[in-house]
Amino acid sequence: MSAAQRLAALDDLPARDLIAFTDGTLRALVDIMNRETTLLRAGHHADAMQLGAEKTRLAQDYVTYSRAVQRQLDRLNAEAPGGVAGLKHGHEQLATQMAENLRVIATVRSVTEDLLTDVAQRVAGAARPKTYGAVGELTAPAAGSGGIALNRSL
């Protein structure tokens, strides 16, 4: 089935079905983001990372469904106005959960970067010579003791 056929199939769904699929995906996405946020706050980073693939899949599904809802909004408002209002409320919950999730991720990133910077500084400090050479200057550091590199692009 091509992408165009999948989109057409979504557009042909009864209003209640399209709303139900969208709402179910939305709820699952909010739930997985909440679990990820909770795990990150608790310091269980490896467990939180395992949720990434499922979170990505749910986010992609939600975008697909929400675009179908946007395309069919007039029909959905006519056939199931309460369902559309429920989706709007769910989307607001998603936005709130996403903001909290991003705050926690930013905090984890900042703490990790601070820790790595501290480690790099200590490694570099430990590699500095602590004795003077024959001419009264500090001896050169040992080769290969340049500390560690930080990738700040993440």
Residue range(s) defining the domain that contains residue 58: 3-127
Strand partners, 132: 138
Structural domain contains residue 65: yes
**pTM of structure:** 0.73
Number of structural domains (the chain) is 1
pLDDT digits (tens, 9 = 90+) for 88-124: 999 999 999 999 999 998 998 888 888 878 887 777 7
Residues 2-12 have a mean pLDDT of 84
In a domain, 143, yes or no: no
Question: The dihedral of CA 14, 75, 72, 6: what is its sign?
Answer: positive
The model's pLDDT over 16-44, given as tens digits with 9 standing for 90+, comes to 999 999 999 999 999 999 999 999 999 99
Helix axes 15-41, 52-71, angle to 10 degrees: 150
Instruction: Evaluate whether residue 152 is within a structural domain.
Output: no
CA atoms within 13 A on the CB side of 18: 28
111-118 long-range contacts, Cβ below 8 Å, gap at least 24? 113/150, 113/152, 116/148, 116/150, 117/150
